[in-house]
Structure 1
Amino acid sequence: MDRMLPLIQNETLKIWKKKRFYVVILVLLVLIPIFTYAQVKIAENNKKNFKDWRNQLVQQINDYQNALSSERIPEDWKRYRKIAVQQLQYYLDHDVNPNSPDGVTFTRGFMENSVSLFYPLLVLAIASDLVSGERSTGTIKMLLTRPVRRWKILFSKLVALTLYVSLIVVTSGILSYLISGAFFGYTGWDMPVFTGFVIHGSTVDDAYVHAVPQWLYILMQSGLIWVSSMTVAILALMVSVLIRSSAASIVTMMAAVIAGTILSSMSSSWESAKYLFAVNLDLTNYLSGSPPPINGMTLSFSLITLAAWAIGGLIVSFGVFTKQDILN
């Protein structure tokens, strides 16, 4: 343990000195105000058109129901609309505004919409070249000549990576709340949010639905985002070990994440796609009651699938790193 701490500190400082985390913060500082401004405009437009949020929900439900009668809309989209109608009606019946204009609600929405693509890309900015980048610069040779077991070196990189993934999730939530709160106010922590919707085909089972305060919902949401982000980080570490080129490892993981996101919206009839890691990244959908990409997928299934991918990635990473001739 005495030798591990200096290694972890060294890997943490190396990531910090690359200034990738600064880039992540800069991206958040640029994009969050843009999204906030868009929400401000939407809120202003809703105030003009609707005197009460209930009227807005009624109008949204009517629009969805009218769309269901159209023959031009694919059946998959109709399924989403049918589920959305039932959930909006549940909020309306219980007199809860699901889109309350406040900083906490904006933060919840921002994190929920970012889990499948935005967070993975932020993680890849740090994780994709942890090993391949050192091969390109030659620093891996100096590191491996030290009297330290190889698995300890890779483990220290994993610990440092875990730290930065956690920082990305926490920092994004804090910045989102601080920036959006300046426009919408810093209220909404105790607002009830309904969770526990169970999807059966095109119907919603509300037998297990219960209200939780929004602060607790965001904590649960953040935990699921962290699991998804760590799975991407571990797989990126594996690719970084397998591929010597830093640029190639980054492109490979970006292509996998983006392709998986596209596949999630097109794979409803391909049941085997549910075993791909990228199709299971959007864990927060299970909290909000959104339908899964493929019928039959559940939170437990997605967690087990991501865990299997992560464990497989760790086995490959440590197996290759400890035995491969990395110096050449």
Structure 2
Amino acid sequence: MRNLLALTRNETLKVLRKRRFFVVVLILLCLIPLFTYGQYTSEQRLLAKVGTTDWKAQLQTQITETEHRMQSSYLPDEQKKILALQVEQNKYYLDRGINPKSTGATTFTRFFMQYGVSLFLPLLVIVVATDIVSSEHSEGTIKLLLTRPVKRWKILLSKYLTLLIYTTLTVVITGVACYLISGLFFGYQGWDAPMFTGFQIANGTFDASHVQVIPHWRLLLMNYGLGWISVIVVATLSFMVSVLVRSTAAGMGVMLAILIGGNILVQLAADFPLAKYLFTSHLRLTDYVNGTPLPIPDVTLGFSLAILTLWTFGGLLVSFLTFTRRDVLA
């Protein structure tokens, strides 16, 4: 156990020295203000169009505009389903006198995870994940690493634990940065604001029978908890690629192709029988608590978690079998 902790500490320092993690943080600190400003200007345009600060009038305008979008013949059916659910959700809030956008920075922080979990955050994670093993080959340090009187599986486990640490830090820094930066524009209030969760579409109709009222801080934690699971899955598969491919650039290219290609496939061929078994089809776990329908029909949170768990254990199995049995010194 002491050896494992020492190895993990050493691997953590290695990642810090390479400064890849600092690049990830820098990207977040550059893009989050841009996204915040974009959201702020969008709300200001809506305010100018409505001509009032009354949130009910603003929400009604948004409902009307969304209904107009749904009438477009060029809009895919899956997109229409998502918009229809948004309309029903907004009407649900309107009828009960609760402003879904009155929560300021907490809302932006939740939305950032909701929409960034399927592609943006995974892309940041693979910057570190695809380098953590393959760099030992490209830098020629793999022989020095394996001359230690430590079993290979412990060395690889220490690298994986290091990856989990940095992946978790990425999620935490994302949430903190979103809240602190967006709060400058929207305010820092709203932790205890009532929020609805449990919206569903059953047999093509809006179903509010499972809706619950929870404080916004709880919904925020649920989003980031589910988002963390999705990002860990991507990190694990990137870790596997880093073991299989001895070049960091090649490993990153492979994961980029898988992530982007998988997202495109899910959007264009959601009815394809094998699509529901791809891990990219289930990365948006946050949709389950936010009431947004997944592109893959007839799936549940339990099914999505089971698929992601299988991919995770499969990736770890391949990683450890390959690293412990392959002649990595060749």
Both proteins in one fold, TM over 0.5: yes
Q: Distance in 2 between matches of 1:199 and 1:297?
A: 12
Summarize the Cα distance change of 1:99–1:90 in structure 2 as closer, same or farther, 3 Å threshold.
same
What are the residue-to-residue correspondences of 1:62-101 with 2, within 5 Å? 62-100=64-102
Please tell me whether the aligned partners of residues 80 and 202 of structure 1 are also in contact (alpha carbons under 8 angstroms): no
Please tell me whether the aligned partners of residues 234 and 310 of structure 1 are also in contact (alpha carbons under 8 angstroms): yes
Q: Distance in 2 between matches of 1:68 and 1:41?
A: 24
Which one-letter code corresponds to 1:49 in the other structure?
K
Please tell me whether the aligned partners of residues 103 and 189 of structure 2 are also in contact (alpha carbons under 8 angstroms): no
TM-score (norm 1): 0.96
> Secondary structure, in 3 states, of the residue corresponding to 2:214?
strand
- 2:269 pairs with 263, 267, 273, which one? 267
Where does residue 292 of structure 1 map in the other structure?
Answer: 294
1:250 aligns with 2:276: no
What are the residue-to-residue correspondences of 1:32-71 with 2, within 5 Å? 32-50=32-50, 51=52, 52-71=54-73
> Secondary structure, in 3 states, of the residue corresponding to 2:189?
coil
Which one-letter code corresponds to 1:325 in the other structure?
D
Where does residue 238 of structure 2 map in the other structure?
Answer: 236
> Secondary structure, in 3 states, of the residue corresponding to 2:201?
strand
Q: Distance in 2 between matches of 1:234 and 1:107?
A: 25
Please tell me whether the aligned partners of residues 78 and 295 of structure 2 are also in contact (alpha carbons under 8 angstroms): no
Q: Distance in 2 between matches of 1:251 and 1:72?
A: 33
Where does residue 310 of structure 1 map in the other structure?
Answer: 312
Please tell me whether the aligned partners of residues 33 and 181 of structure 2 are also in contact (alpha carbons under 8 angstroms): yes
Please tell me whether the aligned partners of residues 114 and 223 of structure 2 are also in contact (alpha carbons under 8 angstroms): yes
Where does residue 2 of structure 1 map in the other structure?
Answer: 2
What are the residue-to-residue correspondences of 1:102-251 with 2, within 5 Å? 102-251=104-253
Root-mean-square deviation (CA), in Å? 1.4
Q: Distance in 2 between matches of 1:78 and 1:183?
A: 31
Please tell me whether the aligned partners of residues 105 and 182 of structure 2 are also in contact (alpha carbons under 8 angstroms): yes
Q: Distance in 1 between matches of 2:261 and 2:81?
A: 23
Q: Distance in 2 between matches of 1:72 and 1:299?
A: 30
Summarize the Cα distance change of 1:78–1:39 in structure 2 as closer, same or farther, 3 Å threshold.
closer
Give the C-alpha shift of residue 201 in structure 1.
4.3
Please tell me whether the aligned partners of residues 136 and 142 of structure 2 are also in contact (alpha carbons under 8 angstroms): yes
Give the C-alpha shift of residue 103 in structure 1.
1.3
Q: Distance in 2 between matches of 1:70 and 1:216?
A: 36
Give the C-alpha shift of residue 66 in structure 1.
3.3
**Unpaired stretches in structure 2, ≥5 consecutive residues:** none
**Unpaired stretches in structure 1, ≥5 consecutive residues:** none
Q: Distance in 2 between matches of 1:130 and 1:166?
A: 16
Q: Distance in 1 between matches of 2:134 and 2:68?
A: 53
Q: How many residues align?
A: 328
Offset from partner CA, 1:68-90 (integer Å, 9 cap, x none): 44434332232222222211111
Summarize the Cα distance change of 1:67–1:156 in structure 2 as closer, same or farther, 3 Å threshold.
same
Which one-letter code corresponds to 1:190 in the other structure?
D
Give the C-alpha shift of residue 301 in structure 1.
0.9
> Secondary structure, in 3 states, of the residue corresponding to 1:304?
helix
Q: Distance in 2 between matches of 1:21 and 1:272?
A: 35
Please tell me whether the aligned partners of residues 70 and 83 of structure 2 are also in contact (alpha carbons under 8 angstroms): yes
Please tell me whether the aligned partners of residues 33 and 180 of structure 1 are also in contact (alpha carbons under 8 angstroms): yes
Which one-letter code corresponds to 2:14 in the other structure?
K
Give the C-alpha shift of residue 14 in structure 1.
0.6
Q: Distance in 1 between matches of 2:74 and 2:9?
A: 58
> Secondary structure, in 3 states, of the residue corresponding to 1:100?
coil
Please tell me whether the aligned partners of residues 43 and 101 of structure 1 are also in contact (alpha carbons under 8 angstroms): no
Please tell me whether the aligned partners of residues 83 and 202 of structure 1 are also in contact (alpha carbons under 8 angstroms): no
Q: Distance in 2 between matches of 1:201 and 1:60?
A: 26
Which one-letter code corresponds to 1:238 in the other structure?
M
